[in-house]
């Protein structure tokens, strides 16, 4: 049972990571006509993605501390 739960979490993490990469590329493509394809546009996209990942990790950590198994 525990290995099945771990497999589900691993699959969910893989899908979430792939979706994040797709959103990152799409955001860079949307910004390209406005800002151009430059270091500044890629840096802003990657910074926003990393900030979102950090916020999600912080919220998940807080939830995990609140509801212990």
- Give DSSP secondary structure letters for 27-40: HHHHHHHHH-SSHH
Burial class from Cβ neighbours inside 10 Å (0-12, 13-18, 19+) for residue 35 reads middle
Q: Is the pTM of this model over 0.75?
A: no
**Other CB atoms within 10 Å distance of the CB of residue 45:** 20
Q: Where are the domains of the chain?
A: 2-66
* Position 5 pLDDT exceeds 80: no
| Mean pLDDT within 11-30 | 90
Query: What band does 69 get if pLDDT is binned at 50, 70 and 90?
Result: low
| Mean pLDDT within 57-62 | 88
Query: What band does 61 get if pLDDT is binned at 50, 70 and 90?
Result: confident
Average pLDDT, the chain: 86
């Amino acid at each position: 049972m525990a290995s099945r739960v771990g497999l589900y979490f691993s699959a969910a993490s893989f899908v979430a990571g792939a979706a994040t990469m797709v959103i990152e590329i799409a955001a860079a493509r949307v910004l390209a006509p406005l800002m151009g394809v430059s270091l500044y546009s890629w840096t802003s996209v990657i910074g926003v993605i990393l900030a979102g990942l950090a916020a999600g990790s912080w919220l998940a950590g807080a939830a995990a501390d609140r509801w212990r198994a």
